[in-house]
Amino acid sequence: MSSLERRVAGKRLNRIDGIGKVTGKHVYAADFALPGMLFGKILRSGEAHARIARLDVAKALALPGVRSVLTAQDIPQIRFGTAIKDRTMFAEGEVRFRGEAIAAVAATSLEIAEAAVRTIEIEYEPLPAVFDPEEALLTGAPLVHAGWNDYQALPVFDREGNISGRSAIGGGDVEAGFARSYRVYEHRFTTQHVHPGYTEPRAAVASWDGNGDVIVWTNTQLPFDMKNMLAEVLDLPASKIRVIVPGIGGGFGGKLRVGVEHYAAWLARKSRRPVRVITTSEEELTDAYPRQPTVVTLKTGVSRDGLLLARQGRVILDCGAFANSGPATAAIALQVLAGPYRTPHLAFEGLAVYTNKGATGSFRAPAGPMANFAVESQIDLIADDLGIDPLEIRLRNIYREGDTGPAGETLASVSIEECLTKAAAAIGWSERKPGEGRGKGLACSWWLTTGGSSGVYVRINPDGTVTLISGAVELGSGAITGAAQILAEELGVDLTDINVTDVDTHSSPYDYGAQGSRTAFSVGNACIAAATDLRRQIFELVATQWNVPAASLRLENKSVVGGDKRMSLADVASLSQRMGGGLISHGTSIQPMPVFDPNRVKHHPLPAWTSHSFHAHAVDLSVDSITGEVSINRYVVAQDVGYAINPTYIEGQIEGGVAQGIGQTLSEEIVYEDGRVLNANLTDYKMPTMMDMPRVECILIEKPSVNGPYGAKGVGEPPCIEPPAAIANAIAVASGVRVQSLPITAEKIALRMNGGR
Amino acid sequence: MGFAFHRPETIDAAIGLGRQHGEAARFLAGGTDLIIQINRRRLAPQHLISLAGLGLDGISETPTEVVIGAMATHDAVVSWPGFQKELLALPQASAVIGGRQIRNIATVGGNIVNASPAADLVPVLLALDATVDLSGSTGSRSLPLDRFLVERGRTERRPDEILTTVRFAKPPAASATWFLKAGRRKAMEISVICVAVHLVQNGKARIAIGAAASRTVRVPEAEALVEKQGLSAFREAGQIAADKTTPIDDVRASARYRKLLVAKLVERALAACADRIERADP
């Protein structure tokens, strides 16, 4: 840890967007409205895979109050997508999942729009469908995209038929490793669809101005990506698209990609009026970007004393009808499956597979909870079989400083031992089964801090305040407050002196977006760069005035100080405004890619992780012997954050991530039956309530990264990775029942305790 | 989704509106289910007749009887001081209905008339042999709750009738009630199974179960066995209850799990009642 005493960074300061949010004055995208605005509504497919035989919108067009109706006929045939351009705005002749958009209506009220959608006549001719990703891999399985080979795709991905992406990582000789092993274990784990659960639905208002530019107010996490996506779908130069983000009521990776924005923009274009589109709960649970279900098989050979010798694994990831981030997620799963463990012989393969279900996406720590559930459940199974304590077997296998990672990269700032021992100590690991029906479990993992560039403009105003203009959005995590704390620290001002502007792609500098645990990290670094340049500008200006060397000046107490002279920052800014156009700088950051061994990875978009974090979770829970109901007594997280820029908001991230993890573990699942979602409402899609949540005890470990601001590492995603495995391991101790499929419902536990399967 | 909203000030006025609009009207109590049904387009009443201004929200006790107004909220049941000893199952059930905001507006009458098989308070009232009082254009009448309930969403109530009160005899001192609920989470949960038991020392036994059939049901065979054999028959009574009920498979739970829950929760609730009676006994 740095011995440097900091005034602003590292402090538990109130977030800059806090007052507006707790007083209800903050404007979120779903609050945004314009005069004369119309309301858009989407007609969705009632079939999972079918040819559209007839589509007639005449009655909808004739309904009073309806201003426009759009189908695939009315717009250019443009395919878009993150990894593969496999999706269209409306189904073109063929629907590929139940819930796919077929038409859209804009009307003077939402009720009229809904009524109009119900009048649209449609006839289908059903086609063979496939719902199970393993069946989709079989020879002769129906193809979700018969024309897959003609789609444009990022060259890194290896595709074939229903496989939208295949990747691999590993080295050594697993067969030789298994042959040398004392025992070899094979297990299979399955995980489910879960929704990101943001409070605010996806919302967009679009309006076209006199120049033929379209302005879209939306709660997207990636405004610049959205701008480019809309340019594609609207068939316009990107400079004609202006994306503004008023406020976001949570995203968790579910608001990365286009959802309602293109419908709002096209309907507004056709209607010549502003149009708003907001999703309903039913739409969220049938056509959003939930976490992909997976089937993970893992074969592990160990020595007599529990050292991992060889591991072979396969992750089958069900990406639904469109690939979106599936191929990348199946690839990232492989590093999670490796875990923070040394393994001489490793062969992992990831497959993203199309099925006739809704698309999926990059929910917080994509692939993290699924792959971690497999590896960390299996480590406990192996420990039990060998008679080794689960903490001990982990400590024997974890990465150490300078070890080689799965892609052959050299690992630095490795803190997994400290995470494990502190979490175990806090939960009282020496007493793993404190009583009948009660047990404790552990799980650990590692995760990356995503790169991507950030730019900021920073201006010092003549009143001494500082304006931070960034293209990064505040998702609700407090990340922008964290970046502002770094900026205040660097400029010698208070956090309350910093103002942050809303994101507007016409004027904000580029940012890679609120994804991958990177906002505070990357924007913080850009702020350091901007502040460095501002200090140079300030010192050069004042040096000229005072006729002293710039190097003799320093910032202190919101003033420039040199010898016995002092000038306030406000006066320097005024001076600069009079003499040189003001104090403004452009700071940028990009995280360098680490060196890795290309022979160890195939078709992998993120072959080696950067500024990785380590973490361990420990839980103490009780299982009801009759109902199987799980009650969590205590929950501990020890997470290496590199440097805690604002401990309060880091703890908030950990608490929220654990809540989402508990939901995925115990109660949440989008249930499909033959392509139909059975629980497309918030009565039966069960996110945990306050009554289900324990207090989460956070232990922040600060082992600095090389690249992060003041050594910080990415914080936001990791907390939802370990809960499934930690809780599964504790349930096994408490009840004697080992459940290898998520969610671990009370029903699964109770039926197994009572002799069923 | 347009409807006219009526707010009558007397029971007679409410009944008159009910008769006038017939099937096109719905009486509105707490609205925690009705409004959802309207929003999901499963119901489209043209008239909503509010029962909020009729003075039906009271709870009262006589030396022999407890009377709960149909518009009493679950929050009121939870905080009624008279429901602590033998009647503990009432606040036990009301306390786990929905969440705090729902309990603050959802009513006892709504829970009954809505006739959901998963209603949490209904098994308790059934176990207490409760009677419902109805007022309509042809006068007032009373029915045992057990006869009032027909099946999912259906009761003996006529379209112009209002459920005004639900009443039951005060149980003797040497008795107990107990309520248990199983669901996937600890609040905002529709019961996967709920069970209410009423046990009188050397007297009657009542076992009522929710979410295990097309309506909330009692299990007379299991009750008779417990009345005859007492403590030693608790496990068998649970098994009989499981055998006699007909739960379904749905997205919330399998029929198999529900049967298991019925057997075990009935046994657990009976044991809890016996334990309370024993502890209260000097």
Question: Quick one: closest CA in B to A748, which residue?
Answer: B257
Q: Tell me, what's the pLDDT at A580?
A: 86
A687 with A576, same domain? no
pLDDT given at position A243: 98
A537 located within any domain: yes
State whether A261 and A341 are in the same domain: no
The answer to whether residues A538 and A558 belong to one domain is yes
Query: Residue range A438-467: average pLDDT?
Result: 97
pLDDT tens figures, A474-489: 999 999 999 999 999 9
State whether A378 and A502 are in the same domain: no
Among A231, A266, A286, the domain-final residue is: A286
- What is the predicted pLDDT for the residue at A3? 47
Q: Which of A567, A589, A611 is the last residue in one of the domains? A: A589
The reply to whether B189 touches chain A by the CB within 8 Å rule is: yes
Does the structure show a pLDDT above 60 at A2? no
**pLDDT at A593 exceeding the cut of 90:** no
Whether residue A140 lies inside any domain: the answer is no
Query: Which of B187, B260, B268 has the CB atom closest to A691's CB atom?
Result: B187
Q: Are residues A335 and A400 in the same domain?
A: yes
Q: What percent of chain A has pLDDT over 90?
A: 97
Instruction: With respect to residue A369, please indicate whether it lies within any of the assigned structural domains.
Output: yes
Rg of chain B over Cα atoms, rounded to whole angstroms, equals 19
Q: How far is the C-alpha of A713 from the C-alpha of A449, rounded, in Å?
A: 7
Which CATH number covers residue A716? 3.30.365.10
Give B14's pLDDT tier (boundaries 50, 70, 90): very high
- Domain identity same for A270 and A309: no
Give domain status of residue A385, yes or no. Answer: yes
Q: Is the pLDDT of residue B16 over 70?
A: yes
- Of A404, A7, A90, A93, the C-alpha closest to A262 is A90
DSSP collapsed to 3 states, chain B: CCCEEECCCCHHHHHHHHHHHHHHEEEECCCCCHHHHHHCCCCCCCEEEECCCCCCCCEEECCCEEEEECCCEHHHHHHCHHHCCCCCHHHHHHCCCCCHHHHCCCEHHHHHHCCCCCCCHHHHHHHCCCEEEEEECCEEEEEEHHHHEEECCEECCCCCCEEEEEEEECCCCCEEEEEEEECCCCCCCCCCEEEEEEEECCCCEEEEEECCCCCCEECHHHHHHHHHHHHHHHHHHHHHHHHHCCCCCCCCCCHHHHHHHHHHHHHHHHHHHHHHHHHHCC
d(CA B56, nearest CA chain A) in Å = 29
Domain total of chain A: 3
Instruction: Dump pLDDT digits (tens) for B96-127.
Output: 999 999 999 999 999 999 999 999 999 999 99
Q: Do A456 and A546 belong to one domain?
A: yes
Residues of A with CB under 8 A from a CB of B: 111, 626-627, 629, 631, 666-667, 671, 678-679, 681, 683-684, 686, 688-692, 745-747, 750-751, 754, 756
Regarding whether A610 and A568 lie in a shared domain, the answer is: no
Interface test with B, best of A667, A747, A751 (most B CBs within 10 A): A747
Decide if domain B4-50 falls under CATH 3.40.50.2000: no
Q: For residue A180, is it within any domain?
A: no
List, for residues A174-218, the tens digit of each pLDDT value.
999 999 999 999 999 999 999 999 999 999 999 999 999 999 999
> Which among B40, B184, B260 has the least Cβ separation from residue A754?
B260
Residue A618: inside a domain, yes or no?
Answer: yes
- CB contacts of A111 in chain B (<8 Å) are 1
pLDDT digits (tens, 9 = 90+) for A399-436: 999 999 999 999 999 999 999 999 999 999 999 999 99
Mutate to test the interface with A, among B100, B186, B250, B256 (most CBs of A within 10 A): B186
Q: Note the pTM of the prediction, 2 decimals.
A: 0.97
Say if residue A423 is in the same domain as residue A438.
yes
Do both A325 and A405 map to the same domain? Answer: yes
pLDDT of residue B2: 83
Q: What is the mean pLDDT of residues A93-103?
A: 98
> How high is the mean pLDDT of chain A?
97
Q: Are B118 and B184 in contact (CB under 8 A)?
A: no
Provide the CATH number for the domain formed by B175-277 in this structure.
Answer: 3.30.390.50
- Residue A570 belongs to domain spanning: 18-25+451-589
- Which tokens is A347 given? 């062969």
| CATH level 3 topology of B59-169 | 3.30.465
Question: Distance (Å, rounded) from C-alpha B118 to C-alpha A704?
Answer: 54
Q: What is the pLDDT of residue A755?
A: 74
Interchain pair B265, A626: CB under 8 A: yes
- pLDDT range class, residue A724, cuts 50, 70, 90: very high
For residues A645-672, give the mean pLDDT: 98
Please judge whether B184 and A750 are an interchain contact, meaning their C-beta atoms are less than 8 angstroms apart: no
* Residue of chain A nearest B181, judged by CA positions: A627
Q: Which of B188, B191, B267, B268 to mutate to test the interface with A (most CBs of A within 10 A)?
A: B188
User: What does the DSSP assignment read for A378-427?
Assistant: HHHHHHHHHT--HHHHHHHHB--TT-B-TTSPBP-S--HHHHHHHHHHHH
Suggest the residue from B1, B260, B265, B267 to mutate for an interface test with chain A (most A CBs closer than 10 A). B260
DSSP H helices, A47-148, are: 58-62, 110-119, 133-136
Query: Does A164 fall in a domain?
Result: no
Q: Do A689 and B185 touch (CB under 8 A)?
A: yes
Neighbours of B41 (CB within 10 A): 10
Q: How confident is the model at residue B229 (pLDDT cuts 50, 70, 90)?
A: very high
Q: Tell whether B262 is within 8 A of chain A (Cβ).
A: no
Residue A578 reports pLDDT greater than 90: yes
Q: Place A5 in a pLDDT band, splitting at 50, 70 and 90.
A: confident
> Do A482 and A554 belong together in one domain?
yes
Instruction: Give the distance between the most distant pair of CA atoms in chain A.
Output: 88
Answer whether residue A1 is part of any domain.
no
CB-nearest to A751 from B184, B190, B260 is B260
Answer whether B186 sits within 8 Å of A689, measured CB to CB: yes
Which residue does chain B place closest to A754, by CA atoms? B260
CATH number at residue A219: 3.90.1170.50
Contact B169, B65 (CB under 8 A): yes
* Cβ–Cβ gap A686/B1 under 8 Å: no
Q: So what's the ipTM on this one? A: 0.95
Burial of A63-81, coded b for 16+ CB within 10 Å and e otherwise, reads: bebbbbbbbbeebeeebbb
Q: Mark yes or no for CB contact B187/A689 under 8 Å.
A: yes
User: What is the per-residue pLDDT across A613-639, written as a single tens digit (0 to 9) for each?
Assistant: 999 999 999 999 999 999 999 999 999
All structural domains of chain B with their residue ranges: 4-50, 59-169, 175-277
Domain end position, chosen among A540, A557, A589: A589
